[in-house]
Amino acid sequence: MNRKINIFLIFTCFLIIIIIYIFFPKKYYLDAIIVSLLIIYIMMLLFPEICLNLHDLFSPKNLTLSLMLMKIIFVPFTVALFGNYIEVLPKEPSSNSMNLAIVFETLAFLSFSVGIMMFSHVYKEKKAKNQVLKEKWKPNYKTILWFYFIGLIGLMLRFDGITGYILYLKEPGLANKIFFDHPTVGHFLGQLLRPFLTYGIVFGWCIWLDKQKGKNNLFLVIRKTLFFMIFVFIVSFDLNRATMLVPILAMIGVLTIKENKISLPIIFLFVIILLLATIYLGEFRNAALFGKAKLSISVGDAFLSLIQNYFGGPQFFGYFLESIEFGNKTFLGKTIIASIMHPIPILGKTFREYSGPSIYNVLIYGTGAPAADQIIPTIAEIYLNFNIIGIILIYLILGILISYIEKVYLYNKKISSIYVYILIVLGYWLAQMATNANFAIASQIAFYGLWPIYLLFILRNKKNHRANY
């Protein structure tokens, strides 16, 4: 799909949003949406590097731009039209505070875009094969069997055996109290090793998918992919939805790269199913942990609640700005260091009280608040520490980093499905970092969730080193 069609489709979507915003009744007057929308569209029109590519929906850069557009345009648009669906805030922020939040998000987008363009300019003449993640060695089935073995050990340790895991599948709330409220060294090791099982299954699927190239059997590919997705869902089952849904999202991304015959409607069908699963799992999680699932809630209300909560509605940042008196005091990185240490066992304990999530939850719930019940947006913690200058510099760095991963992704996407999968996963978490995750979540993912990737890169470097001699 060429750039002209991309621009036309984006223009059409933006025009619809503007018309609806102007002529329909509103709950909040968030006029910053229109200003931000026009700025972003002009940027996309002038600079191809930051235009969405609808032909490669799951590339790291595309994921980040899509999530940023959701956060800056679409989510505030739902707040303006339908109202606030976030119930945890002690009071609703004013329209002015939410407008200021949208302005800061737009500034972050502009800085991110400059980072992308800087990288594209500096590395314009360099080939992607010179990047550090260039792929020579690919895992085989023997390597994957080791991943299965390590992952199964992790599963057993995490839940004290298969019966414990079955209990977790049947009664996650009860099992959560047994295994998570009283952790042991075995549970900790199990948490580190369990992701190997998910990665092993996905890597096996990737190898099989690469062998289907040129066989013209799309129906078989989709059928077996659905089987693998169900298997991944079962072995990665967790009350943290991202643990299950991010691998499946990345598998959809790999499938769209390797099977060019898959049309956009089929891709959107996969995404809609994933979105519905996210809504259902959210209600299931609330019932399992808190006994307060809203079983009578409409799909529309659940959807609005989901996107405003998990895509970071302007209410969060707006409330935060009011609570800190719009940045009268800066912490100069102190809370960011504490946030990075926050999820680390033992070592992180002394830092947690001063981390961004802890400060944010105290602002919402008061003293004695749960340590990290609500997620402080990345941009809010940056503003708390370094004000506007921090937003500009850190999002500039994120733009350069995403561009680098994008280059590596483009090189690998026609070679190995395994590396495409890994790069989509990394791209997704960086995209979340740029939108609604935070430094504590990034640290948690890096510490607990990426050991299979670390091991794979160690093996790859070792094999490539030997091949050079």
**What per-residue confidence (pLDDT) applies to 129?**
45
In this structure, is residue 441 part of a structural domain? yes
Q: 99-124 pLDDT, tens per residue?
A: 999 999 999 999 999 999 988 766 65
H helices of 160-263, in order, are 162-170, 172-179, 185-193, 195-211, 218-235, 241-258
In a domain, 52, yes or no: no
Residue 228 clears pLDDT 60, i.e. is over it = yes
pLDDT digits (tens, 9 = 90+) for 343-357: 998 888 889 888 999
Does the pLDDT of residue 371 top 60, yes or no?
A: no
Number of domains in the chain: 1
In a domain, 142, yes or no: yes
How far lies 466's CA from each of 114, 318, 393, 412, 441, in Å? 40, 55, 40, 21, 36
Range of the domain at 380: 85-469
pLDDT band at 60 (very low <50, low <70, confident <90, very high): very high
Q: What is the average per-residue pLDDT within 57-64? A: 91
Among the ranges given (183-192, 276-285, 460-469), the one the predictor scored with the smallest mean pLDDT: 460-469
Nearest to 299 by CA among 272, 326, 325, 322: 272
Mean pLDDT of 396-422: 90
Question: Given a cut of 60, is residue 134 above it in pLDDT?
Answer: no
Rounded to 5 degrees, what are φ and ψ at 232? Answer: -60, -40
Count of C-beta atoms within a 10 Å radius of residue 261: 8
CA pair distance 324, 76, nearest whole angstrom: 21
Whether residue 75 lies inside any domain: the answer is: no
pLDDT band at 202 (very low <50, low <70, confident <90, very high): very high
Q: Which whole number is the average pLDDT over 367-386? A: 81
Flag whether pLDDT at 398 surpasses 90. Answer: yes
pLDDT band per the 50, 70, 90 thresholds, residue 131? very low
Residue 238 clears pLDDT 80, i.e. is over it: yes
Q: What is the pLDDT of residue 126?
A: 54
pLDDT per residue as tens digits for the range 276-313: 777 677 666 666 655 555 545 577 787 888 888 888 89
The pLDDT score that the predictor gives to residue 312 is: 84
DSSP letters spanning 289-331: HHS---TT--HHHHHHHHHHHHTT-HHHHHHHHHHTTTTSS--
Considering the domain boundaries, does residue 7 fall inside one? Answer: no
Within a domain: 45: no
Q: How does residue 86 score in pLDDT terms, banded at 50, 70 and 90?
A: confident
Q: Confidence band (pLDDT; 50, 70, 90) for 466? A: low
Residue 78 or residue 287, greater confidence: 78
- pLDDT at residue 321, rounded to an integer: 94
In a domain, 2, yes or no: no
Domain assignment present for 30? no
| pLDDT tier for residue 81 given thresholds of 50, 70 and 90 | very high
More confident residue, 194 or 122: 194
Q: What is the pLDDT of residue 414?
A: 76
